[in-house]
Structure 1
């Protein structure tokens, strides 16, 4: 603790008001025992260095990734050396990556305006994503429809695409969720690519055709529209997890338990009460009103993980064996594209205890097949996955998603 106070004094108040990331670096620390986890955990709970943990200290086999402001570099390195902690710098200059990303987005926007074509290999604004949802519905009116399910805190609409062959009301359904953590841009990009893939492959791919003959698919590509806009207009992506709180900590299961914080400034703030955020409530209300969802899949990044309940407890879910089998089949299918390896397991023991997660809520509310994908990569770029990896990520993820949906199709309950 004395070291934390000392290094806080070294940087003083100069970091306040920092809006750019010139010279900021991302460190990877490989923890070897409980004592090292405890040392790093002290930094998590300290504001002196203004650190931003991309992967928090949780277990021996899970590296810690942390964004360190340039003014804190000397003090942070001194702390690591004094504690005998081994580290490597994975991103040397964060602003350089951000500048490159901004340039690519601006160039892509110009090309799209001139060609009137949506580039699925680029990151987009909320407006562009919503416009493309309209295009998909217009191109395939007999299969896709854009549905408003609610609005955000700042009154932005929340839209899902419903894919249905229209054969009966309240058919068994799959919910695909993305973008609940606004800085995880690869999840929103993968989701909108997936939307186009569903309509393009219907009646061409026997698997997706048979899935849609039996079930509807609802896809929410941007579950946190306010946060997504904020990352693109107010603050750069690396530091912003969401608006006001992380929505995945705001569900019902073991609300405010392990893995969540009661500090409103924390990235894992759970909110004043379960489902307190209007975005979460909109999803919960829609799913409960529908009443016949059989599968809930939440797309996140990063780490290359495929997880199932529970996050709030180490106890095994009643259907753990089946969920594990399905997840491993999905991970194998995903790996068949580019060799990308995913770790599989229950959330609590695969990463860390996580209270109020969306898949735990889904599972405890009768949606048996509940999974979380943590997409590419494992830390080379972290939340700043280059746009040239969007389509490779989406293509491999699609095979994993399709494997899960095929199992649901064949095992309706």
Structure 2
């Protein structure tokens, strides 16, 4: 890893690139590289000079975006070393945390906010780690609507996991003073999975910072891992994926073959038809993506989702001037099949968004810890706008609000009648 560089170049004269052994970051499969596309790729230090010479010979413009990835990795580790003790009073949301600290944090959140938060096991991984999730909302005897959020489906996308923690913190810290959040929590339950790909996330801390997949053995143990965001039953294995288990976009031996995927499907299907929105959090690219990835044809709710996402992107920009691009995955990113967001749309969930967080290329998957806070602030602000739209159009008035108005009116009416009769006497 030390000395590895990431390069960007414009394929203006080269035609389709046929070097699948390179670690492609954007796009993530060679088949999606065409003349004129911008490509991000990690180059091993031992091959950097040869790569440069080849690009010069082909007259392909390029630039070095990250001189040495190991420096960024070391910085992430150093930032974490400042905050190992886990308590809600001192928990640092501006550094990346390993999974044991995240799970301890979840326990403490549950204990501190028992009126709103329950802590559950979604399922288990191949390496027998629990996958935990929060259910956040006021208890109700009636069936409530639901919003589901998965984070960390790709192991190396640490900012996605950091955002999930930030999201939970902000919901719990703000709802008392925020009428919108108070109403949402009374009518909607938030289901938040901070680390869906638990095995892969641990592996990205211990062995390979840029690991993407889970860790289930494949092809009789000759290789490991399935890309969980290619494993859902949404045109599974048809486009923008690989059936080669050594490739990072390997879709698995069959749809929903992985324990993590099965666990998500099981819970969401139990909640249907009450799931209003599915959010899946990723990095990088600064995009708000709509279904679909496997076709250009839009989803049923495409127009409303697009207009809402555009407003959310405008709101997001107000925070730190970040620009997020809105559009369908196949149109503005690349073709892909088997994603959780597309599966959610196929399940008739009205709103299904993929957020690709910071940045747009300077750091890629190695987003520095100092970028966590502004990233989370701007994205949370955009989601509040989306929640406001859901409240306005899909949630009714709170129970008791009409009764309260009626009671007040009756009290006033009785008072007026009494005065009238007193005057008449």
**Alignment deviations for residues 383-402 of structure 1 (CA, whole Å, 9 cap, x no partner):** 11111111111111101222
Give the TM-score, by structure 1 length. 0.89
1:394 partner SS: helix
User: Which residue is 2:14 aligned to?
Assistant: 36
Between the aligned partners of 2:388 and 2:86, the Cα distance in structure 1 is 38
Is 1:55 aligned to 2:36, yes or no? no
User: Which residue is 1:7 aligned to?
Assistant: none
User: Which residue is 2:264 aligned to?
Assistant: 283
Between the aligned partners of 1:165 and 1:84, the Cα distance in structure 2 is 61
Between the aligned partners of 1:219 and 1:355, the Cα distance in structure 2 is 23
Between the aligned partners of 1:30 and 1:139, the Cα distance in structure 2 is 51
Between the aligned partners of 2:354 and 2:98, the Cα distance in structure 1 is 24
Between the aligned partners of 2:211 and 2:123, the Cα distance in structure 1 is 27
**Alignment deviations for residues 189-246 of structure 1 (CA, whole Å, 9 cap, x no partner):** 01011111111111211221122122111111101000000000122x2354443011
**Alignment deviations for residues 154-204 of structure 1 (CA, whole Å, 9 cap, x no partner):** 111111111111123431100011100010000000101111111111121
Q: Do the aligned residues in 1 keep the contact of 2:87 with 2:108 (CA within 8 Å)?
A: no
2:118 partner SS: strand
Is 1:143 aligned to 2:116, yes or no? yes
- CA shift in 2, pair 1:125/1:334, >3 Å: same
- CA shift in 2, pair 1:95/1:388, >3 Å: same
1:160 partner SS: strand
- CA shift in 2, pair 1:302/1:188, >3 Å: same
Q: Do the aligned residues in 1 keep the contact of 2:203 with 2:211 (CA within 8 Å)?
A: no
Is 1:238 aligned to 2:210, yes or no? yes
Between the aligned partners of 2:131 and 2:211, the Cα distance in structure 1 is 24
> How far did residue 62 of structure 1 move?
5.1
Is 1:264 aligned to 2:245, yes or no? yes
Q: Do the aligned residues in 2 keep the contact of 1:59 with 1:352 (CA within 8 Å)?
A: no
> How far did residue 290 of structure 1 move?
1.8
**Alignment deviations for residues 367-406 of structure 1 (CA, whole Å, 9 cap, x no partner):** 0100000000011111111111111111111012222222
Between the aligned partners of 2:139 and 2:86, the Cα distance in structure 1 is 34
2:280 partner SS: strand
Q: Do the aligned residues in 2 keep the contact of 1:29 with 1:85 (CA within 8 Å)?
A: yes
* Structure ID, larger Rg: 2
- CA shift in 2, pair 1:324/1:384, >3 Å: same
User: Which residue is 2:321 aligned to?
Assistant: 339
Q: Do the aligned residues in 2 keep the contact of 1:170 with 1:290 (CA within 8 Å)?
A: no
> How far did residue 116 of structure 1 move?
6.6
Between the aligned partners of 1:203 and 1:59, the Cα distance in structure 2 is 51
How many equivalent pairs are there? 381
1:238 partner SS: coil
Is 1:105 aligned to 2:80, yes or no? yes
Between the aligned partners of 2:153 and 2:211, the Cα distance in structure 1 is 15
After superposition, the CA RMSD in angstroms is 1.8
Is 1:199 aligned to 2:167, yes or no? no
214-223 vs 295-304, which moves further: 214-223
> Which segments of 5 or more consecutive residues in structure 1 lack a partner in the other structure?
1-20
Q: Do the aligned residues in 2 keep the contact of 1:263 with 1:269 (CA within 8 Å)?
A: yes
- CA shift in 2, pair 1:345/1:117, >3 Å: same
Give the TM-score, by structure 2 length. 0.86
User: Which residue is 2:301 aligned to?
Assistant: 319
> Which segments of 5 or more consecutive residues in structure 2 lack a partner in the other structure?
216-224, 396-425
- CA shift in 2, pair 1:54/1:128, >3 Å: same
Between the aligned partners of 1:380 and 1:177, the Cα distance in structure 2 is 25
> How far did residue 37 of structure 1 move?
5.0
- CA shift in 2, pair 1:169/1:156, >3 Å: farther
Between the aligned partners of 1:378 and 1:257, the Cα distance in structure 2 is 28
Between the aligned partners of 1:37 and 1:308, the Cα distance in structure 2 is 29
User: Which residue is 2:7 aligned to?
Assistant: 27
